[in-house]
Structure 1
Amino acid sequence: MSELTSTLLAGAIALAVVVHLVWLARKSRNRAREALAADTAGIRAVVADAVDVSDGTAGVATWAGTWNGHRVQVRTIVDTLATRKLPARWLTVTVTEPVDVPGTFDMMMRPGSATTFSNFDHLGHTLPKTAGFPVEAVQRTDRKGVAFPQDVIAGHLDIFSEGRAKELLVTPKGVRIVWLLAEAERARYGVFRQAAFGDTKLDPALIERLLQSASTLRDAINERKRQAA
């Protein structure tokens, strides 16, 4: 094979590789757009006026709107921290309305490593174990010595019995529940280090359940405070 032929062949191979990479990138972008559109449709089935308010953070998509007259936020987060065995995709649902509590109350199920969706690790005070809470739960706050209506909270934790609810956050600004949507496909992540979650979609029924749970808890806390006043 002549030197010219070898050069032309090498150039053709390089061009083919570039074209293939461009095709893969375009395919990936198209899939991402389709997935985002599907997520938006799923959310708007529950939060009709939901608007994408994402700030561009990689792996994070955020929608805000109103549900049953309450301001709410729905967010998906891809957690690829090296401390996790497998990357995870989380769903956070928040009722962003005032709650009559004296500070931050954070309940995390099975805390064992840092997270990208929570400030739980930065809260300085661990609350004592309380009757009615899951045995795997740890409760923390940002204010030492304050009292939270833990008996009320304990009566609204049914959703945590299913094993996928990860965190309950109650602050003066709202109530949030974090739910594990999916873990990455083990084979693909093990070989290619790609965080692929298959056909995981946002289920409107799940979003409705989480919003209802957060809203009911908020109402119960505020009602207890009104009765005590």
Structure 2
Amino acid sequence: MSELTSALLAGVIVLALVLHLAWLARRSRKRDLAGLAVEEARIRTVIADAANVSDGTVGVITWEGSWNGQRVQLRTIVDTLATRKLPARWLSVSLTEKVAVPAIFDMMMRPGSPTTFSNFDHLEHTLPKAPGFPAEAILRTDKRGARFPQSLIASHIEIFAEGRAKELLITPNGVRIVWLLAEAERARYGVFRQAEFGGTALDPALIERLLVSMSALRDAINRHERQAA
């Protein structure tokens, strides 16, 4: 085979590979867009005016809207930090209304490694736990000496007993719960280093449950503060 023929053959192979990769990328984008449309439709069964306000951050999709007259935010986050055994897909649900707390209250379950969805690791002060909190939970705040109605909070976190809720964040500006939707398929990630989550879809019933739980907690804290005033 001549050098010219070899070069032409190599060029054809490279071109075929480039075209195949481009086709795979287009197919992946179409699949992602279709999946995003399905998730948005599911979200709107709970939050009718939900709007996609994503800022382009890779792996993060954000929706904002209103629920029962309260401002809310939903965010899905793909966490591929190397410190995790498997990539994870998280659902962050926030109720962005005022809460009568003096500082940040952050409860993290099993905080063994950094996360992409929380500033928990940057909070300097660990709080002693009142009875009723899970044994695996660590409480932190950004303000030394800040006092919180811990017994009241502990009475509103039944949802954490299911093992998939990761974080409860309470600030003067709202309440947030982070929930583990899925971990990447072990076999595919182990071989191809691709984070696939088995087609896990958002469950409107789960979104509703999280919003109801956070709304009840916020109302209880605000009512407690009014009664104490």
Cα distance, 1:155 vs. partner?
Answer: 0.4
Counterpart residue identity of residue 153, structure 1? I
The residue matched to 1:78 in structure 2 has which SS? strand
Q: Which residue of 1 aligns with 2:154?
A: 154
Q: What do the CA deviations read for 1:96-143 (whole angstroms, capped 9, x no partner)? A: 000000000000001110010000000010001210000100000011
> Identity, % of aligned pairs?
73
Q: Which residue of 1 aligns with 2:54?
A: 54
Cα distance, 1:14 vs. partner?
Answer: 1.7
Counterpart residue identity of residue 140, structure 2? R
The residue matched to 1:93 in structure 2 has which SS? strand
Q: Which residue of 2 aligns with 1:178?
A: 178
Cα distance, 1:206 vs. partner?
Answer: 0.5
In 1, distance between residues paired with 2:193 and 2:171?
36
Q: What do the CA deviations read for 1:58-116 (whole angstroms, capped 9, x no partner)? A: 11110000000000000001111111000100000010000000000000001110010
Counterpart residue identity of residue 93, structure 2? V
Q: Which residue of 1 aligns with 2:75?
A: 75
The residue matched to 2:76 in structure 1 has which SS? strand
Counterpart residue identity of residue 158, structure 1? E
- Does the alignment pair 1:223 with 2:214? no
Cα distance, 1:191 vs. partner?
Answer: 1.2
Counterpart residue identity of residue 137, structure 1? A
Q: Which residue of 1 aligns with 2:212?
A: 212
In 1, distance between residues paired with 2:100 and 2:215?
13
The runs of 5 or more residues in structure 2 that have no matched partner are none
Q: Which residue of 2 aligns with 1:97?
A: 97
**TM-score normalised by structure 2 residue count:** 0.97
**TM-score normalised by structure 1 residue count:** 0.97
In 1, distance between residues paired with 2:6 and 2:127?
72
Q: Which residue of 1 aligns with 2:31?
A: 31
Q: Which residue of 2 aligns with 1:88?
A: 88
Q: CA RMSD in A?
A: 1.0
